[in-house]
Amino acid sequence: MWYIGMPADCWSAGVILYVMLAGCHPFDNEPTPQDSGDSSAHSNLSTGSRDTRLKERIVYGGINFPFHPWNGLSNAKKLILELLIHDHLRRATVNTALNSDWIQSDIQQLRVSYRRRITGST
Domain range enclosing 22: 6-26+63-119
Q: How many domains does the chain divide into?
A: 1
In a domain, 13, yes or no: yes
Give the model confidence (pLDDT) of 70-111 as tens digits: 888 999 999 999 999 988 899 999 999 999 999 999 999 989
pTM of the model: 0.72
Whether residue 107 lies inside any domain: the answer is: yes
The one-letter amino acid at 26: P
CATH number where 68 lies: 1.10.510.10
pLDDT at 65: 85
Amino acid at residue number 97: A
Length of the chain: 122
The pLDDT value recorded for residue 30 is: 59
Count of beta carbons in the 10 Å neighbourhood of residue 53: 15
CA atoms of 112 and 105, how far apart (whole Å): 14
Buried-state track 20-39, b at ≥16 Cβ within 10 A, e below 16:
ebbeeebbebeeeeeeeeee
